[in-house]
Amino acid sequence: MVNRIKDWKLQIAQAFLPLLLIPVVLFLDVPQRIFDLLKQSNVQVSSLEWYWQLLLHLGNWAIIILALFFIYRAIRKHNEKEVIKQNIPNTIVWHSFPGYWFCRHILNYQTVMLTRVPIPVQFELVWSELFKKYEFMEGVTEKTDADIIFTEILQAEPYTSTVNLILADTYPLDEWKAKVPAPTSSYSTVIVNRSGERGVRYYTAKSLSPR
């Protein structure tokens, strides 16, 4: 939980700091203060534009709603071209799907960086097409040589309704049964592996199947 807060401190601030306006406006009773200032300045309320007159007579909550509307609109406009990503170096933070949904639809982030996002969350975000754009090349080396892709299917007769998908393209997964939750070890399992240097994040658009 602490890492989640530290990692998304900007998004949390954008979501909740504007709400501090509510107690401030209510405590100060802004419309009444404006009426008092106008009276002290010998300015008639009727001399103001009609929309200012309406806003003052509607009271505190009208001012709060209007102010929050413009604040959140500015935040959404700013976030439209920003990238939401994991910000704590060398740390993987498990943010929830509802959290990403809030950032996408409420705070209006259009792009997400998948670097250091846990693999299950990556699948969930991409599969749901939640964001308009997905970035994944940060810290990734692009290579031109083709990799050989190996696919192994275990316990496939018959296929179970739930299937384990194991991606072993960066780090070798020896004794895979010891690395999956015990309740899923009896499920059909698809292991996808590739040739290439281990422990190095790289991207190649070319792939070959072994003959």
Q: Could you report the per-residue pLDDT of 119-165, keeping only the tens digit for each?
A: 889 989 999 999 999 987 766 666 667 777 878 888 778 888 888 88
How high is the pLDDT of residue 15?
Answer: 94
How high is the pLDDT of residue 172?
Answer: 62
Q: Write out the two tokens for 2.
A: 């602490």
Torsion of Cα atoms, 43 then 49 then 51 then 57, to 10°: 20
Give the residues of the chain that fall short of pLDDT 50: none
Strand 207-208 versus strand 147-154 pairing type: parallel
**pTM score:** 0.71
How high is the pLDDT of residue 108?
Answer: 95
How high is the pLDDT of residue 83?
Answer: 93
Q: For every residue of 136-184, which 3-state class applies, written as one string?
A: CCCCCEECCCCEEEEEEEECCCCCCCCEEEEECCCCCCCCHHHCCCHHH
How high is the pLDDT of residue 205?
Answer: 65
Q: Where are the alpha helices (DSSP H) in 41-117?
A: 50-58, 60-79, 97-105
How high is the pLDDT of residue 187?
Answer: 86
C-beta separation of 135 from 81 below 8 A: no
C-beta separation of 112 from 11 below 8 A: no
Residue extents of the structural domains in the chain? 1-139, 141-208
